[in-house]
Every structure is written in C-alpha cells, then in structure tokens.
C-alpha cells in the first residue's frame, strides 16, 4: 500500500513545473487525503485549481519567507515536498539578496515549520547546479541541502532528505521551449558553446524518482537521480531537423558567466567513499554523524567513481534523443510554452538570448 494513501501533503512551489507533475502523480496513483499547494501567485493557483478540478486539492497563498504562514499551513501534515525556489540563474545573480531569502532562509523556515508540526518526512528538491556551484542559484541550493540534512540532528520525529536531479525537459525556462519559440520568431537557435552537455530527463520520470526516494529514505541522504544526457548540439540539430526549415540557423553566442560545459550530479569529493548504488539512484550518505542512517546502509557496498557528470553518464545519440523528445510531445507541431515564453515579443526574445540573460 502507498505510504501516501490517506495522508496530508504540502507542496511548496506546488504550482511550478515539478509541483504540478507531483500533484498529478500523487492524485492519480496514491490516493492522498489532501494536498496543500503553497505558493505566492494567485493566478497560477486559480489556473491550477481549474485544470485539476479535484476536491482533495487545497490552495494556500503564502511565501516561504514567512515562517508563521508556513507553520499554520503545515498543521496536520504528514509529508512536505519543498520545491519553491528562485531558479533562474541570471535572476539569482542579479538579485542575490532575494535568492538567499527564498532559497536559503525559506528552506530553513520550511525545516522549522515542519519540526514545529511533527511532519513525518520533508523532501527537499535540489539540482545539479548545487554541486561544485559556479553561480548563486547553485550556492543557495547547496546551502539548502546542507540545512536539510543537518535538520535530522534537531528532531527524532521528522525525517529530512534531499533529492537531486538535473534538467528536466520542457520545465519553465528550459532550453526546449526556448528553441521552439526561437523557431517561430527568429528562426535562429542559439547555443552558447557546442561542447556543452546537459542531463536530460522527462518530468514524469523525475517525479517518479522523487516519490521513490521519499519511500526509500531513512533521513540524511541525498538521493541523486541517474539521468542520461545529450550534447546541446545534438539537441539543437534534432529540433532543427524535425521542426525547422532550410533557413533555420544555429548560432554560437559564447559561454556565459556561471555556465559550465558539463553539469555534475555527484562531485569528486562526495564520490570518494560515501556513495551507494541503489538502482535508479546514487545515494550520498551524510558527512554528519547520523548513526541510524549509517547503520541502515552499513552492508551496502560503496561505489567507486571519480564523479558523476553529464559527460560520463550515458549520452543519448540523436536517434535516442529524437525518440525521447517525440515520446514526451516536444516535437508535436503545436506546443504549449507555459507561461515563461508565451508573452514574449520577438524583441524581448532576442534580448534574452543575445544579452547574457539566459542560462540553461
Ligand atoms: N526545472 C528543472 O529542470 C529542475 C532541475 C532540478 C531541480 N529543480 C528544482 O525543482 C524545484 C521546482 O522547479 P520548477 O522547475 O518546478 O520551478 P518553477 O516552475 O519555476 O516553480 C517554482 C515554484 O515555486 C514557487 N515560489 C517561488 N518563490 C516562492 C516563495 N518565495 N514562496 C512560495 N513559493 C514560491 C512558484 O510560485 P509563485 O511564483 O507563485 O510563488 C512556483 O510554484 C526547484 O526547487 C528547482 O530548484 C528544477
């Protein structure tokens, strides 16, 4: 039986790409009693309410910076998924204090509110950008991970765990919607550096793994999703071949500050002696002294690897990439851009893609 059956769940950032898919899978497969969607923008909540039309959903306007609101909202909760974040690299670079307030202080507020309410389990969703971070977004998410893992020392009642994933296809602000929009407007696909690789995964698979890690975790682990990757060049070429025309161009605009050639999901240091292979995941055991967790994994062999990155994982070839894109609807002639690009004019789009304003 599902651990979520008849449970009460709160999702911070529940109106975002990940939050909506999580909500859909929980409602479809796990029969929870109630899911509380916690976020700031009322329009996104109203739209989500209409599209889901499910009485088990409750919508709460709130900001993770507001611990009082979080504490009230978590009353009677069994599980909390923490997905609220400022996640656009350039936005975080340009508004560092805001990024710290939401991603770091907000995460600490989630922890304290969960402890105050004896929540059973808190799952923090983190990113490859948090590993050896080069930009402030990554730094804030790395701080979030540290706070969440350390919270296991503060209470016996609440279990805290992190799950780290790389890019999912088509999430708000990601490169596939950008390419599709560029095809319709400038007919030029912009690439910063042709050597670049990125993890690539479907949102539904990522959420399936978030739920699996929630079930499997005992507290203090970082679950790392094993994801394949692709070169950004292959991605652009597949999109050009499938959806472009003879005039479609690929333009190189140069690597930008805060951007890596390859993304890393398990760092060299983490990989040294504390990683367990668990099928769909690598599990990074805590650096902190959490005896019950270490006891739980004591018989599991440690993995020997240098690091896990988007170059040494499986790199999809163009056929596999095309199949994956097709299967997930990204090559359909009509495409829903979600809110990020839908209202941009041609001029705004050019500004974003040419003036160092976009990092995937
Ligand atoms: N997208 C990816 O490929 C990817 C990969 C790895 C990890 N992640 C992580 O997964 C999580 C979700 O990403 P996503 O792609 O779903 O992001 P998203 O679509 O941009 O959604 C972000 C959500 O957070 C909410 N939010 C932002 N600031 C908030 C605040 N101060 N208080 C309360 N809610 C707030 C937003 O709603 P309002 O603006 O209405 O508040 C929205 O619901 C993030 O933590 C991200 O770091 C994403």
What's the pLDDT tens digit per position in 169-189? 877 778 888 899 899 899 999
Residue 190 reports pLDDT greater than 70:
yes
Quote the CA–CA distance of 236 and 312 in Å, as a whole number: 21
> Is 129 one of the annotated active-site residues of the chain?
yes
Q: How far apart are CA 282 and CA 279, in angstroms?
A: 7
339, pLDDT greater than 80: no
Read off the pTM. 0.92
**What's the gap in Å between 324 CA and the centre of ligand 1?**
24
pLDDT bucket at 344, cuts 50 / 70 / 90: very low
Listed in sequence order, the residues at least 6 apart from 95 whose beta carbon sits closer than 8 Å to its beta carbon are 86
| 8-167+202-226+264-309 homologous superfamily | NAD(P)-binding Rossmann-like Domain (3.40.50.720)
Domain boundaries, the chain: 8-167+202-226+264-309
Q: In this predicted structure, what is the pLDDT of residue 273? A: 87
What is the distance between the alpha carbons of residues 135 and 260, in angstroms, rounded to a whole number?
Answer: 10
Q: Cα(360) to centroid of ligand 1, in Å?
A: 15
Q: How far apart are CA 152 and CA 111, in angstroms?
A: 10
**pLDDT (tens digit per residue) in 304-330:** 899 999 999 999 999 999 999 999 888
Q: Ligand 1 pocket check: which of 63, 83, 144, 328 to mutate, most ligand atoms within 8 Å of Cβ?
A: 83
The residue whose CA is least distant from atom 30 of ligand 1 is 63
| Residue scoring higher pLDDT (351 or 242) | 242
**Which of 44, 87, 129, 322 is labelled catalytic?**
129
Q: What is the mean pLDDT of residues 146-158?
A: 97
Q: Helix 203-216 and helix 17-29: axis angle, to 10°?
A: 60
pLDDT at residue 357, rounded to an integer: 40
Please, what is the average pLDDT of the chain? Answer: 92
The pLDDT-based confidence of 336 (bands split at 50, 70, 90) is low
Separation of 194 CA from ligand 1 center, angstroms?
28
Tens digits of residue pLDDT in 256-315? 877 899 999 999 999 998 999 999 999 999 999 999 999 999 999 999 899 999 999 999
pLDDT of residue 346: 54
> How confident is the model at residue 317, as a pLDDT?
96
Pocket perturbation via mutation, ligand 1, pick of 15, 18, 133 by most ligand atoms within 8 A of CB: 18
Which pLDDT score, from 0 to 100, does residue 333 have? 81
What pLDDT shows up at residue 216? Answer: 97
Cα atoms found within 13 Å of the Cα of residue 212, Cβ hemisphere only: 17
pLDDT tens string 223-251: 999 999 999 999 999 999 999 999 999 99
Residue nearest to atom 19 of ligand 1 (CA): 16
The whole-number pLDDT of residue 89 equals 87
Task: For ligand 1, atom 41, name the residue with the nearest CA.
Answer: 40
User: Which residues line ligand 1 at a C-beta cut-off of 6 Å?
Assistant: 12-13, 15-19, 39-41, 44, 63-65, 83-87, 102, 106, 125, 127, 141, 165, 167-168, 171-172, 174
Which of 85, 139, 203 most suits a substitution to test ligand 1, by most atoms within 8 Å of the C-beta? 85
DSSP notation for 288-324: S--HHHHHHTTTSPBP--S-EETTTSPBP-HHHHHHH
351: pLDDT strictly greater than 70? no
């Amino acid at each position: 039986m599902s651990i979520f059956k008849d449970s009460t769940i709160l999702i911070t950032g529940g109106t975002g790409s990940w939050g909506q898919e999580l909500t859909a899978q929980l409602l479809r497969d796990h029969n929870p009693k109630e899911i509380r969607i916690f976020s700031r923008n009322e329009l996104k909540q109203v739209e989500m309410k209409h599209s889901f039309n499910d009485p088990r959903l409750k919508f709460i306007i709130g900001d993770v910076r507001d611990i009082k609101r979080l504490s009230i909202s978590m009353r009677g909760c069994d599980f909390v998924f923490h997905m609220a974040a400022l996640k656009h690299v350039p936005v975080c670079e340009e508004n560092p204090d805001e990024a710290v307030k939401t991603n770091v202080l907000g995460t600490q507020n989630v922890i304290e509110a969960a402890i105050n309410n004896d929540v059973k389990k808190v799952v923090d969703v983190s990113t490859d950008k948090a590993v050896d971070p080069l930009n402030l977004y990554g730094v804030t998410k790395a701080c979030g991970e540290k706070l969440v893992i350390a919270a296991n020392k503060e209470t016996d009642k609440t279990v805290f765990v992190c799950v780290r994933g790389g890019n999912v296809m088509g999430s708000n602000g990601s490169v596939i919607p950008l390419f599709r929009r560029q095809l319709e407007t400038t007919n030029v696909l912009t690439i910063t550096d042709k050597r670049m690789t990125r993890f690539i995964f479907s949102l539904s698979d990522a959420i399936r793994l978030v739920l699996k890690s929630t079930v499997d975790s005992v507290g203090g682990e970082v679950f790392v999703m094993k994801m394949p990757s692709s070169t950004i060049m292959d991605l652009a070429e597949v999109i050009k071949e499938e959806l472009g025309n003879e005039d479609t161009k690929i333009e190189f605009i140069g690597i930008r500050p805060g951007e890596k050639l390859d993304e890393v999901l398990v760092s060299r240091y983490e990989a040294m002696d504390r990683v367990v292979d668990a099928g769909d995941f690598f599990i990074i055991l805590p650096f902190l002294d959490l005896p019950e967790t270490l006891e739980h994994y004591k018989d599991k062999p440690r993995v020997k690897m240098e690091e896990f990155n988007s170059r040494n994982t499986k790199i999809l070839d163009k056929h596999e990439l095309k199949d994956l894109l097709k299967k997930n609807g990204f090559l359909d002639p009509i495409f829903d851009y979600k809110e990020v690009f839908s209202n941009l004019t041609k001029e705004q789009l050019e500004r974003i893609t040419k003036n160092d304003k976009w990092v995937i």
